[in-house]
Amino acid sequence: KPGTGPDNVVVIGLGRFGGAVADSLVNLGHEVLGIDSNAHIVQDWSDRLTHVVEADATDTEAMRQLGVQDFSRAVVGIGTHLEASVLTVLTLAEIGVPEIWAKAISVKHGKILSSVGARHVIFPESEMGERVAHLITGRMLDYIEFDDGFAIAKVRSPQEAIGRTLADTSLRTKWGVTVVGIKLPGEDFTYARPETVVPPGCILIVAGDTSKVERFAAET
Ligand code: ADP
């Protein structure tokens, strides 16, 4: 079993979501204990994670024997099987894992997961759907919304800003958004400075209240 250092994470349910989380954690240098009840999936992941075990995560005794209670962080990627998802989160909470991240497929599913002990609930499909809607309807090239009504977007610079310095464009006063980064054609992103001149064809990273960022991307 992997050591239980602060960088180690247990990932339960190695489907599309849990698998992607586990893969990225390994790439980021973390040790990952993967658990799945499906023998074929365990086989597929055996040489990609630190340890992979075939077990039913709703079985409290099995989880204890694997030492899951010694991990400070767990990710539950079981989504479609509601009962298994809820019972797994409950099991982890009962054995004392403090940081439980769990995937939900509906709002009510998410509420249940929170109430049985998930500290973080993720809605991959609806969050990605919302993000894609922003990308296909506006001029946004990328978009991230935080749950406190704050967003960051990557947008083509508006016509009104071209040829002027960021200080002169007064985008903050006019639109309520702050330019945090700017990408000139063929160059890397750089921090925005008041004296930076906006050339034609450049890309801005803007931050602000969700509604203001949306308005800026739609109307400029
Ligand atoms: P995704 O849509 O991200 O692929 P799924 O819900 O389809 O997610 O995948 C869930 C994974 O969780 C599957 O690999 C399945 O074998 C596993 N799983 C389901 N129930 C349990 C359980 N009780 N214990 C451990 N793993 C489970």
Q: Ligand 1 centroid vs 14 CA: distance in angstroms?
A: 6
Give the pLDDT mean for 55-69.
98
109-160 pLDDT tens trace? 999 999 999 999 999 999 899 889 888 877 789 999 887 899 999 999 998 8
Atom of ligand 1 nearest to the CA of 84: 23
- CA gap 106, 110 in Å, rounded: 6
10: nearest Cα among 87, 78, 72: 72
Rounded CA separation 85/87 (Å): 6
pLDDT at residue 184, rounded to an integer: 81
Residues lining ligand 1, Cβ inside 6 A = 12-18, 35-38, 41, 56-58, 77-81, 84, 88
pLDDT at 2 over 60: no
pLDDT value of residue 84:
98
Question: What are residue 91's phi and psi, to 5 degrees?
Answer: -60, -45
90 Cβ neighbours under 8 A, 6+ residues apart: 116, 117
Q: Looking at residue 3, what DSSP letter applies?
A: -
Q: Taking 50 as the threshold, does the pLDDT of residue 1 lie above it?
A: no
Q: How far is the CA of 183 from the CAs of 139, 153, 164, 186, 190, in angstroms? A: 16, 13, 15, 8, 6
Q: If you search the block for the tokens 């958004």, which residue do you land on?
A: 177
Report which of 98, 141, 146 is spatially closest to residue 118, judged by C-alpha positions: 98
CB 101 within 8 A of CB 90: no
Distances (CA, A) of 43 to 19, 27, 48, 83, 134: 13, 20, 10, 24, 39
Residue 172 reports pLDDT greater than 50: yes
DSSP symbols for 151-166: EEEEEEPPGGGTTSBH
Ligand 1, atom nearest to 79 Cα: 6
CA 84 to centroid of ligand 1, rounded, Å: 8
pLDDT value of residue 5: 63
**214: closest CA among 113, 144, 111, 112?**
144
Q: Return the DSSP state at 185.
A: T
pLDDT tens digits, 20-32: 999 999 999 999 9
ipTM: 0.95
Q: What is the mean predicted confidence (pLDDT) over 210-216?
A: 93
Q: What is the rounded average pLDDT for all residues in the chain?
A: 92
